[in-house]
Amino acid sequence: MKKIIFTTISLLFCMNLFAFTPTIGKDDELRDDTLFLQIISKSDQLTNLIWSSNNSDEQTIDNAIQLIENLDREYFTTNAAAFDTLNSILNLSNTQLLEEYFDLFSTNWTALQEQYGDRLTEDYILDETNAATQSRNAGCLDGPGYVLCSGAVTAAAIIGHAGCLATFIAAPLCFALVATIQVAGINQCSKEYCGRALTAL
């Protein structure tokens, strides 16, 4: 449980480094919004891919987090160069999923900011993410606990990724760091509430 709390705090720390400012919007519910659901779906795909591409090994994921943290953001002059390095670190060289998620999140989050505006608080995003991820029980001993835990980690990652958009050339590094911490966090949720390491979302 301590490691879950630490992981979630780490995600929120990434978010607080690069805070975003929402605008005024409409009154629809985020949990039913196709753009938001696309973000969650693509995030889940990326989580599964990072986990499986690293042999479903907790230590390998922890090592990847350290490697990404130690990258010099000033070294990368283009997003493409950053993604090449990140894909290599995360063993994703044969896929474009990290870039696809980055592009989809950037487009969808901008639209969601315009629509929902100042409703996009941390608490609202957490509540709506939990509502949108209720199908996650994965045959766990404590399904509701796992749903709440993994939903909280996912919400923290979404908030963190929103903050990453403000970093411009460092945005891919920020995205990859948050995404990899998200993998570690959901794995801890699975260990705590399912009694086993993460299999898939």
Instruction: Please give the Cα distance from 85 to 71 (Å, whole number).
Output: 9
Instruction: Please give the Cα distance from 15 to 169 (Å, whole number).
Output: 16
Q: Which two tokens stand for residue 172?
A: 């891919």
Q: How confident is the model at residue 168 (pLDDT cuts 50, 70, 90)?
A: low
pLDDT beyond 80 at 197: yes
Q: What is the pLDDT of residue 93?
A: 82
DSSP 67-98: HHHTS-GGG-SSHHHHHHHHHHHTT-TT--HH
pTM of the model: 0.84
pLDDT beyond 90 at 151: yes
Q: What is the DSSP letter of 181?
A: H
Averaged pLDDT, 93-103: 91
Averaged pLDDT, 63-69: 95
Q: What is the pLDDT of residue 169?
A: 64
Q: Which residue has the tokens 């070294």?
A: 75
Q: What is the pLDDT of residue 8?
A: 47
Among the listed ranges 11-15, 22-26, 196-200, which one has the minimum average pLDDT value?
22-26
In the chain, where the domains are located: 2-193
Q: How confident is the model at residue 138 (pLDDT cuts 50, 70, 90)?
A: low
Q: Which residues make Cβ contacts (< 8 Å) with residue 2, sequence separation at least 6?
A: none
Q: How many angstroms separate the Cα of 12 from the Cα of each of 9, 34, 98, 154? A: 5, 25, 20, 11
